[in-house]
Structure formats: structure tokens, C-alpha cells
Amino acid sequence: MLHGIDDFLMDKVYQKISNKFQVLTGRTCFSLERYCLTGLAIIYTLLTFTSFGKAKEYTANGFIIFMVVILISLLLFKIYESHKEEKLFEDLTKDTLNIKRIALFYSRVVSLIIWSLYLIFPILNIIERDMYDFTISLLLPIFWVSSVYFECCTPLPPCKSKAKEWVKGFFSVLKLSAVKSSM
């Protein structure tokens, strides 16, 4: 059952998103992974600052700040590793399946189970929580699970970005119209 859920998410959801993103922007799945990890770092930073402001008796002790700095440092290191992995994958043959698809199966399944359980509590306590806490509680697991899945996607061969072609075409039309109007 877990293999079926994982295969469905990998093939029908994240691989398709990754392929469409790469065709549109020319960036690979590793860029999507970095965006998710950057989002996680921002959310953890926001959670830290808002928790200091919400609790009147709560004082920002050094241990909590140290833990947040360590967590954000680990996320930044993971972003750096993702960039290195993208460069390494470009050197391999283009028809190679990403080996992490097999190697990180248990990591993906455990992430799904843990974060699914994590999602139950905010949904049950929606009446007691404000919308900001609820939104943050939903974004954390989405970004984390997405980063794990995007890490395991297989990038397409390099292609030109449709967005860049559209922008170049748009500016060439503008230049052509400017030249015609100046004549």
C-alpha cells in the first residue's frame, strides 16, 4: 500500500510538476527542492519571531535561538548540497533515473506518515488557533514532503525555457515597434 501511494505521488504528482516546471522555466527539479527548503527556512524564522511576540511570559532564551540557527543552517547546507547534486547530475547521461528515487523510498514514506500525523492536530484544533498558525502548520509539511519528493525526481534533458522564449519574443516585438515608430 505504501509503495502504491509513493509511486502515485512520485509519478503522477511530483514528477509531472517537475517536468512542467522544467519545460516552462528551464530549471530542474533540484531548483524546486531548493525553493521548498528556502520556504521552510523562512517559515521557521517567522515561527520563531511570532512565538516570541505572542507569549507574554515567554523569554527568548539562548537555547531556542541556538536551535533555530542550527535548523536554518542545516536547511542552507541542504540547499547547497542540492545545487552540487544538480551540477553532478548534469554530468551524467541524460537518460539516467535519479538513484535517490530508490534510495530515499523509506525517507519519503516516513515523511508522509509523520507529517500526515502532524497535520491532524492543526485541523482538529482549528477553532482554537488563528488563521496564521493554521496556515503555517499546513505549509510546514507541504514544503518538507515536497522537498523530499522533488529531490527524487528525474530531470528532463536540458531544454530551452518557454518563458525565456516568450520574453525574448515580447521584447523583439517591442524593439520592432519602436523602430517602426521612429521611422
% of the chain residues with pLDDT over 70: 75
Residue 182: count of CB within 10 angstroms of its CB: 6
- Sort residue 66 into left (φ over 0), alpha (ψ -120 to 50) or beta: alpha
Instruction: Give the Cα separation of 119 and 123 in Å (integer).
Output: 6
pTM above 0.75, yes or no: no
Domain extent listing, the chain:
2-176
Alpha carbons within 13 A on the beta-carbon side of 6: 19
Q: Quick one: pLDDT at residue 102?
A: 81
Asked whether residue 13 carries a pLDDT value surpassing 60, the answer given is yes
Angle, alpha carbons 109-38-53 (nearest 5°): 105
Highest mean pLDDT, choosing among 23-32, 123-132, 153-162 = 23-32
Asked whether residue 8 carries a pLDDT value surpassing 80, the answer given is yes
Q: Of 46, 63, 44, which Cα lies nearest the Cα of 54?
A: 46
Instruction: Give the Cα separation of 96 and 154 in Å (integer).
Output: 8
Average pLDDT, stretch 76-97? 74
Average pLDDT, stretch 109-138? 72
Q: What sign for the dihedral angle of Cα 45, 110, 124, 5?
A: positive
Q: Of 33, 158, 45, which Cα lies nearest the Cα of 83?
A: 33
Instruction: Give the Cα separation of 83 and 88 in Å (integer).
Output: 9
Instruction: Give the Cα separation of 19 and 15 in Å (integer).
Output: 6
Show the cell assigned to 65.
535561538
Asked whether residue 58 carries a pLDDT value surpassing 60, the answer given is no
Q: How confident is the model at residue 68 (pLDDT cuts 50, 70, 90)?
A: confident
Q: Quick one: pLDDT at residue 165?
A: 78
Mean model confidence pLDDT for the chain: 77
Task: With residue 66 as reference, give the H or E element that holds it.
Answer: helix 62-91
Instruction: Give the Cα separation of 41 and 162 in Å (integer).
Output: 30
Q: Of 68, 80, 81, which Cα lies nearest the Cα of 42?
A: 68
Asked whether residue 159 carries a pLDDT value surpassing 60, the answer given is yes
Q: How confident is the model at residue 78 (pLDDT cuts 50, 70, 90)?
A: confident
Q: How confident is the model at residue 54 (pLDDT cuts 50, 70, 90)?
A: low
Q: Quick one: pLDDT at residue 16?
A: 92
